[in-house]
Chain A
């Protein structure tokens, strides 16, 4: 399982380094908010979709590129706010390190958990091939 996820199988857990691939244009310190568009190309959408494990169709690439450009143009308005010295809020409730006693609780029965899986073998989740036959 671990080997299958190497290279970003789980997308977007933070400011990820996407490695060698299509280069996205470099953004300066402040976002241009008056740009009429051109923020995101069809190739960008294809790259992002690949990172997010979405096998988008050619038609979707056309539709999404236009729509995402409009949306990103609108949300770029956050750049109008002078906020250099403002701390970010990641969460409305400020709580850190919530502890509870380390007690053992019953887990769900194995059959109950596996019952919802798309494929099961030998009481385990069966997944498609991860490594090459000879690897």
Chain B
């Protein structure tokens, strides 16, 4: 196996710009790794060998011509299949979009291409990003590279598995209720959900528009920050995009790596595992508690904070997200793109729509569309959707109060380590509790990162570091300091074989 695949994104970029290795060699090494292991991992839905080699050759040509290269030029990346890519299949993990090739690029696709980043292919995911295990993909599950019988998290499980399996040093995911942070945690890598509005949603296939946010995965905090700065920034094509400067996350990651956190106030959220540890695995809590002690050892002032409404985040989320999804997924109507079923010249348009959606959507998507339809219906709207929106306000207020006492808040990222494929599929609520710790930041639109903090039962545990809106750099600073202080979790990953 080529040593190139073990390098960090930052190291690859340095070697390419110095001419020590070509971008084509780097791409070839990663494509070879994908051929070697992806039959077992199934991180990818589509591999774009030709496009990757072409993009890499362009970087090499630019370097030879003396043109300036971006900080990640020539670095390979895996893209979640919910992000549209011109001319490349984009399914969002759904049968309803099988074979669709988008006529345009998402803004983040455009940004990574302009940065000279080499897109290797599209990664597997829970259908329309609804799930926490990638088992809801219409194209079969992705396996966790730590243990192929277990889930890689979700919904961005293909993106997390690709990075953990050294198929790509970087990947992009989307996070609506934890879909970047939880997969990062259970695969032992770093994943960040930016402040809502920091990264353009133009070209993201919408699940829950007021919550969806794309973000970076990497094996190190610095790599993740480098990708964050490529992705983030104002986009006139997304009216919820923040018209302001990008948080200085790369500088923060470099500062954090210096090691000390003197004077940084770290708030441990009582409601996320402390006050009621039931539902949390003991190994996860002990790994998290040890991580908090490490932060204290780095000079941080650790305080306990209370966010009493966080306990209602799960209920509010599983009303708001399905409500928005039931509206967003109305666009899959068998007219403009994707599947059409039952068009026999006799069936009406409505019949064809109903038959198409029935055939094209999986069980979880249907469940959420029906829940959303219910929660938005007259007579129920105030009691469900309206009340959930009020709870959302209270959660945001809890954050505001907590950030009076602390610069960042910490919690476990997920209450448990990666579970077995198939274990929770029959019980939607057992699946939903994956998101217990990640949902508050989603509802408040605030940034949060997951950084590996140890092992339990030989499987990775993640620590979540949350910051106020627009202060993404705080997440990266604390995560980088922590990363520098501990043994790298990914060093323990078992070698994959064919």
Contacts and interface: CB of A to CB of B under 8 A. Distances in A.
Please say whether chains A and B are actual partners in one complex: yes
Interface of A: 4, 9-18, 24, 26-27, 29-31, 40, 44-45, 48-57, 60, 63-64, 67-68, 70-72, 74-81, 83, 86-93, 95, 98, 100, 108-109, 112-113, 115-119, 125, 127-130
A97 to B, nearest CB: 9
A88 B336 contact: no
A12 B445 contact: no
Contacts of B443: 89, 92
B463 interface: no
A81 B312 contact: yes
13 contacts: A10-B330, A11-B330, A12-B373, A12-B377, A14-B376, A27-B379, A29-B383, A48-B374, A75-B388, A86-B393, A92-B197, A98-B239, A129-B345
Contacts of A17: 378
Contacts of A91: 210, 240, 445
B394 A83 contact: yes
Nearest to A32: B383
Contact of B240 (A27, A79, A81, A93): A93
B85 to A, nearest CB: 13
Nearest to B196: A92
Q: B-side binding surface: helix, strand, loop or mixed?
A: helix
A24 B370 CA distance: 14
Contacts of B100: 116
B135 to A, nearest CB: 16
Given A93-B196, A116-B103, A116-B336, A55 B357 contact: yes
Nearest to A77: B315
Contact of A52 (B326, B336, B339, B379): B326
B371 A72 contact: yes
Given A17-B378, A88-B386, 8 more contacts: A15-B381, A27-B379, A53-B354, A75-B319, A86-B390, A93-B240, A116-B101, A116-B338
The 6 closest A-B pairs by CB, nearest first: A92-B445, A88-B389, A118-B340, A112-B103, A83-B390, A15-B381
Interface stretch (B62-70, B71-79, B361-369): B361-369
B367 A68 contact: yes
A16 B366 contact: no
Nearest to B370: A48
B394 A81 contact: yes
Contact of A71 (B339, B386, B391, B429): B429
Contacts of A60: 363, 366
A90 B309 CA distance: 17
A59 to B, nearest CB: 11
A64 B330 CA distance: 20
Contact of B309 (A81, A88, A127): A81
B38 to A, nearest CB: 27
A55 B358 contact: yes
B347 interface: yes
Contact of A128 (B211, B347, B387, B444): B347
Given A90-B210, A115-B101, A12 B326 contact: yes
Contacts of B357: 52-55
A71 B445 contact: no
A98 B239 CA distance: 6
Contacts of B347: 128
